[in-house]
Chain A
Amino acid sequence: SQQGEEDPQALSIQEGENATMNCSYKTSINNLQWYRQNSGRGLVHLILIRSNEREKHSGRLRVTLDTSKKSSSLLITASRAADTASYFCATDLSQGNLIFGKGTKLSVKP
Chain B
Amino acid sequence: EAEVAQSPRYKITEKSQAVAFWCDPISGHATLYWYRQILGQGPELLVQFQDESVVDDSQLPKDRFSAERLKGVDSTLKIQPAELGDSAMYLCASSSLGQGFDQETQYFGPGTRLLVL
Contact = CB atoms under 8 A, between A and B. Distances in A.
Interface of A: 2, 4, 30-31, 33, 35, 40-45, 48, 88, 90, 92, 95-103
B21 to A, nearest CB: 13
A97 B111 contact: no
Contact of B42 (A2, A44, A48, A96): A2
Given A33-B105, A42-B91, A95-B97, A100 B40 contact: no
Nearest to B6: A42
Interface stretch (B11-19, B43-51, B61-69, B72-80): B43-51
A100 B110 contact: no
Interface of B: 4, 31, 33, 40-45, 48, 55-56, 89, 91, 93, 95, 97, 103-111, 113
A101 to B, nearest CB: 5
Contacts of B103: 96
B40 A102 contact: yes
A48 B55 CA distance: 23
A30 B104 CA distance: 10
Which 3 A-B pairs rank lowest in CB-CB distance, beginning with the nearest?
A: A100-B42, A42-B108, A43-B108
A42 B111 contact: yes
21 contacts: A2-B44, A31-B104, A33-B106, A35-B108, A41-B111, A42-B110, A42-B111, A43-B91, A48-B104, A88-B42, A90-B42, A92-B104, A95-B48, A95-B55, A95-B97, A96-B33, A96-B97, A99-B45, A100-B44, A101-B42, A102-B41
A41 B110 contact: yes
A36 B106 CA distance: 12
Given A42-B110, A96-B97, A103 B48 contact: no
B88 to A, nearest CB: 12
